Amino acid sequence: MIGAHLLADVLTPMGIQPFKPLRNDKYTLDIAKAANPIANYALLVAGGVLAGVAFIFGSVLAT
């Protein structure tokens, strides 16, 4: 869950600073602003699809 949030944050111009206390390196792909509704809905759909695939794959492996 945290990894997905960090991945989403790295898509924004703000990016992430995972080593902030030690280093000031900033990582960003600068693809879309966080306020972009199209990007937000696309990520929502992608997350739903991936969750569904994970659920089905997990069910198949459990049987």
Question: Does residue 19 or residue 62 have the better pLDDT?
Answer: 19
Domain span at 57: 2-62
Cα gap 31→61, rounded to integer Å = 35
Decide: 8 and 43 in contact? Cβ < 8 Å.
Answer: yes
pLDDT in tens, 9-49: 898 999 999 999 999 999 999 988 878 899 889 888 988 99
The pLDDT of residue 52 is above 90: yes
Q: Looking at the 3D structure of the chain, how many domains does it have?
A: 1
Which whole number is the average pLDDT over 44-59?
Answer: 92
